[in-house]
Structure 1
């Protein structure tokens, strides 16, 4: 891996990444890190080092590097998962560049699903400031599924760069109970001090090989380390060897080492590769982009050798569980190109010329153009993604790289490819054989918790809104579409403000739909605060048959959740039997409209006590109107409470932020009902908070907890709103706000 010396700076096989024929020739690697850590720059450096792009700035096959940059920086960088396939020593490496913003964690989770190993990218310029809480959480998520991980330290060229400090920070953040599992394989070599006092990094010292790999001339060359490097090299080398031996499956190796035996470098490298592949050792590598027209950036060769030699093939990773379409568990699949087809759509996009394009990871079998596949929906009906099953014909297969779509003859198990013209496929769907349809266990989707109420900007936009929204949510399963039947609003539930902005811009630019954001309304309700009586009199005479209906009712409150209860206590036929259902219908219709603030009336018993009818002029419509009038009159003489929804909120936050979070919840009229300790120095806070107060909590909690806090919400009940807030809401309702 990075210590093998058979490379002289040139890749084993440069240029475009050819289609793989077997899983052993594939590596799927996801790059993870916060925004600004250097993930996309690193991907570009690796593409340059492998010959996928040239020093002149040209992507092979005639596509300009500026095309790649444009799509990365304008459309995908920071907001979408992108895939760049490169080739090194005959191995096709699919590099999955993920967004760094928390709002696009859905794209990141898709990248984790499609990958078999992860590179965590951190900046050397932030060595003293630690690793972000969001990055730590992702590390733990990868650890939970046993995903192999390595750490790449970037921005070594920065004036404040401190590789040693960043390495120690990573050991503390990622090492957990075993900090010796996080150690560098190389140390940076610094050149002469410049006029500004900064010593640039010009090369790397290999700790196992005791060789210096010099990048100062733009091509990687090897040399012996100078005497000034030896003391630091030997100390770090001994530490690395002890860390490798501690993870070795050879139990005699430690005794031999402690006994003074010089362990063969080849043995150490083999043990290192095995430990990395099974996810028990996490090497740290420095990297920097190429400068001054050089083709190879510092550390790119070492990183490519780590990926090809130490990261597992798709065949070495467990495939997600599969079931039949009826939910019956099926035998576990293996990564076999000859096995049954099982592939998953990890991202969906729309191209104005090609149509819908699906980025697909093949887990089992072989996907071929012009063959029929069964598309199985993923069952996210609560997010606007209805279940669906359909047989479709696969269009052309291609390998993505910027704007280039290079044709693929097939995609074998373990590979990632773009599939055209799957009209029904959505992100998260399963592709399988029509003769043996199945569904893969879905990956973990984050809950969208920021509501954004929208309305069409014009009549023309209104005609296109429904189709535009359906396409939008088909691409993004982290977004939930709600048509609220109580508030009559269309609500997009997003992960944050950036997620919202991107969604609205896609609606405008991609689907030609302009929308306006309007204040989000929660589902308020009304109820009576005490007993009240009302008389409804509807008497009109306008020639011919008139309208005559009188009814007297009594209204009394009921416990929460009782709804509307109607009781008939009319005696003596004051209201004819055939018109009693009419009174009830009128009462219920008025209750649905509300009696004070236009919110539904709930939890009351309405008793019909008396009334009058006319043998000719009474009718169903007249008694419906009388019932509604009686309810309104009762409300005019009673105390009517506004009820607001209260959510049960569960906040998981680092211990250091517990105080500020609880104080913030109290400021939102919340009641903390309990706390409990969680692993990793975190606390789970359970609270009940009015939904009026948590519309922006997804954004505010992120700011309050420096990106480390997570929360969930669920409806608990409706309860009376404080009078001063209720008065303000009534005023807003009356003013049409």
Structure 2
């Protein structure tokens, strides 16, 4: 691990294909936006020799040439893979976005990884979203380490940040989060802040000095020894507490000096098990520091302490029809089980799928079975097809390095998978399997769109299909009530990226229009109507008269039609025609253009003509009668009300409940949900929830989560319904 005192193994460069699972490490970089994940990944690529000091590979491309949108927005918006090699080990660095809108990319990165590296800015600290993500990793037993960045910032304090992380991430065992190194500070500058010039290894008690621009190993100064001794004793106690050797603590407390090799081996095992979380520090290379501080130490932690793919349990598998199957293991000779963790479109090579292989070996040009992921509610169809694998490659920025195979535990880019989407399982065509899906966040921010022109309308359907194929966190809805095309997103940034990709990648321009909710109309009391449709224009005319009574029904009753005609005033064959006309008019609405519900329409009387009456005439008369009844009655507009479940830390319950009340919401209960969190149950009109995904994030400082489900329709307040009717009358 990073405490080895011998010289490091040297740079090995980029990695293509691995030859065995034990020579692979899959590491996801996690942290809030601006914490320095991408900069750290580039620093590690430089340390391994994968790029030169300008951050470029042999053809001049940069490591961070991932997406034009990322360059324009100056932030990561998608998962990217950076495979490097160190000491004969292939390290797949999975860089993920830190912004909350792109948590779907982060979840995909967690699925593809076997360990997580939490990148924490020394100047910004730990935010609530990072804390929640740590707990999510803990729930599945994923090994984690912490690396501090931005130590050069004036507000940075290594000791204070270590204390905060131990308190935040350690929970009941703060000694499970301890530093392996202490920063070595240089002379103070004019601002009173001392730059970091090296690291002090606590187990080896050696100093790794970078002040000359290169990493040099030297013994510590006398004045450094007390600080090293105190931190070292605590680290050793933390390691021994996680040791499988139960006698080790007694021997240590009795004064026995535990040998260095035993400590390192126990440390590596504890990290791989996910029970101990080392803290490190890193800084990128600069002109004065040609080697990034902490990069070598971090690479040694990854290769020595993080688990191999074979040490991690694969997700459960079933047959495509749901029958259980034995667990798969990370065996290159086992049955093929791989998963698409990301889908992207390249303007030159078409669709490219990033695939993690969990079992077996994936080879170019072989035919595989593609099993669907069950996200049909989001516009993603289930798959149960066979496809031919295209070329395999190892991505590096925008470069692709050809692979002749991808074994269990490794990750590769696959070309020409035209049906497979993110979350799909690839398996043998002779033994189709389906992996248990990972949890996808629900998109709760609606974006109503329409084609900008006829030319865009022709391309819109295909463009949207490709967009949602890449991003399973989006949901495409064709709302039959409002006749709107709605793209559900996770937030404003997610929305902006979707629109930009439609325009720049798929050549589709769209206009954003106000999102409508599915309102309803109903009668506020009993009313009567007479429909008279009489026309004579030569030849057969049109003659139909009907009289109806309308009365309201309880919510959820729909439209009830009753025939009480006596004496044949309306011939029997035309009574269904009246009902058809009434129901058609109810579907179109009678006040503001929204469907009419929860009424009983009773046909009481009418007149007919032996020659001029017809099915069409009585349909028209039925519609006219309903409209006349509505003109004389009080019509209520009904709005949909959603049941909303909000999960927030306890300290934000008050602001959340206040915000819900301001949305005309009714809080119906609260309950504890795990340590320090409360579940708030409320009923809120859906028209008030349009921006709630954004506002909750603000109110809860990024820590709140909510879900919504339709409850019922309720009468809308008169002032709001009047405004909507006025808009309908004005045609807006």
Normalised by the length of structure 1, the TM-score is 0.98
The 3 A distance-change label for structure 1 pair 272 and 160 is same
User: How far did residue 228 of structure 1 move?
Assistant: 1.1
Matches within 5 A, 1:163-242: 163-242=158-237
> How far, CA to CA, are the matches of 2:128 and 2:264 in structure 1?
32
User: How far did residue 31 of structure 1 move?
Assistant: 0.4
> How far, CA to CA, are the matches of 1:718 and 1:657 in structure 2?
29
> How far, CA to CA, are the matches of 1:491 and 1:73 in structure 2?
28
Is this contact kept in 2: 1:346–1:359, CA < 8 A?
yes
Is this contact kept in 2: 1:343–1:364, CA < 8 A?
yes
SS of the residue corresponding to residue 314 of structure 2 reads coil
Coordinate RMSD, CA, aligned: 1.2
Q: Alpha-carbon deviations, 1:535-567, whole Å to 9, x = none?
A: 100000101100000001111111111111111
The corresponding residue for 2:60 is 63
User: How far did residue 679 of structure 1 move?
Assistant: 1.7
> How far, CA to CA, are the matches of 2:731 and 2:711 in structure 1?
28
Is this contact kept in 1: 2:548–2:626, CA < 8 A?
yes
Is this contact kept in 1: 2:591–2:630, CA < 8 A?
yes
Normalised by the length of structure 2, the TM-score is 0.98
User: How far did residue 160 of structure 1 move?
Assistant: 1.9
Is this contact kept in 2: 1:55–1:293, CA < 8 A?
no
Gaps of 5+ in 1: none
Is this contact kept in 2: 1:32–1:119, CA < 8 A?
yes
User: How far did residue 194 of structure 1 move?
Assistant: 2.8
The corresponding residue for 2:79 is 81
The corresponding residue for 2:25 is 27
2:3 equivalent to 1:6: no
The corresponding residue for 1:498 is 493
> How far, CA to CA, are the matches of 1:425 and 1:69 in structure 2?
22
> How far, CA to CA, are the matches of 1:733 and 1:214 in structure 2?
73
2:433 equivalent to 1:435: no
> How far, CA to CA, are the matches of 1:39 and 1:15 in structure 2?
20
2:666 equivalent to 1:668: no
Q: Alpha-carbon deviations, 1:418-470, whole Å to 9, x = none?
A: 00010111111111111111111110000000000000111111111001000
Among 157, 165, 169, the alignment partner of 1:162 is 157
> How far, CA to CA, are the matches of 1:731 and 1:172 in structure 2?
57
Among 255, 263, 287, the alignment partner of 2:258 is 263
The corresponding residue for 1:523 is 518
Q: Alpha-carbon deviations, 1:8-34, whole Å to 9, x = none?
A: 5xx445122141011000000000000
User: How far did residue 329 of structure 1 move?
Assistant: 1.1
2:570 equivalent to 1:575: yes
The corresponding residue for 2:276 is 281
SS of the residue corresponding to residue 172 of structure 1 reads helix
The corresponding residue for 2:713 is 718
2:126 equivalent to 1:131: yes
The corresponding residue for 1:635 is 630
> How far, CA to CA, are the matches of 2:557 and 2:138 in structure 1?
48
2:110 equivalent to 1:115: no
Is this contact kept in 1: 2:81–2:395, CA < 8 A?
yes
Matches within 5 A, 1:417-456: 417-456=412-451
Is this contact kept in 2: 1:85–1:93, CA < 8 A?
yes
SS of the residue corresponding to residue 26 of structure 2 reads strand
Among 457, 466, 471, the alignment partner of 1:471 is 466
Is this contact kept in 2: 1:54–1:295, CA < 8 A?
no
> How far, CA to CA, are the matches of 1:622 and 1:313 in structure 2?
77
2:98 equivalent to 1:95: no
The corresponding residue for 1:406 is 401
Is this contact kept in 2: 1:170–1:182, CA < 8 A?
yes
SS of the residue corresponding to residue 62 of structure 1 reads coil
The 3 A distance-change label for structure 1 pair 494 and 70 is closer
User: How far did residue 66 of structure 1 move?
Assistant: 7.0
> Greater CA deviation, 188-197 or 321-330?
188-197
Matches within 5 A, 1:314-393: 314-393=309-388
> How far, CA to CA, are the matches of 1:662 and 1:231 in structure 2?
51
Q: Aligned pairs, how many?
A: 731
SS of the residue corresponding to residue 212 of structure 2 reads coil
> Greater CA deviation, 369-378 or 479-488?
369-378
The corresponding residue for 2:605 is 610
Is this contact kept in 2: 1:26–1:92, CA < 8 A?
yes
> How far, CA to CA, are the matches of 1:319 and 1:66 in structure 2?
30
Is this contact kept in 1: 2:210–2:289, CA < 8 A?
no
